[in-house]
Amino acid sequence: MRLAMPRDWWSAILVSLIIAAEQSPEAGEKSMTAYVDADKNFFSYLDLAYFHEFLAEPAKAAAACREAAAYDANTKWGHEKKLLETK
């Protein structure tokens, strides 16, 4: 199923939550961690935090937020591109 979904934050969270419900929370976390590992950045770690919040795992959500803080919000699709276009 994952191959049929776009590689986007909402589909990563949705698919991981489905896996968590159908298999186990650990399997869902493994799916979500693979998404984060493919492109580690501020936003992907916040997506991981959302995933843990949905599973009522506040300590893991907080840990993901701490990981996010190691990155800035400048991504290839984010603010940096917009700043260049306005100059």
Model confidence pLDDT, tens digit, residues 48-74: 999 999 999 999 999 999 999 999 877
Number of domains in the chain: 1
Mean per-residue pLDDT, 35-44:
93
Contacts 24+ apart (CB under 8 A), 51-56: 51/13, 51/16, 51/17, 54/13, 54/17, 55/17, 55/20, 55/25, 55/28
pLDDT at residue 82, rounded to an integer: 46
**Domain residue limits at 50:** 2-86
Which pLDDT does position 84 carry in this prediction? 47
| From 23-27, 61-65, 77-81, the region with the lowest mean pLDDT | 77-81
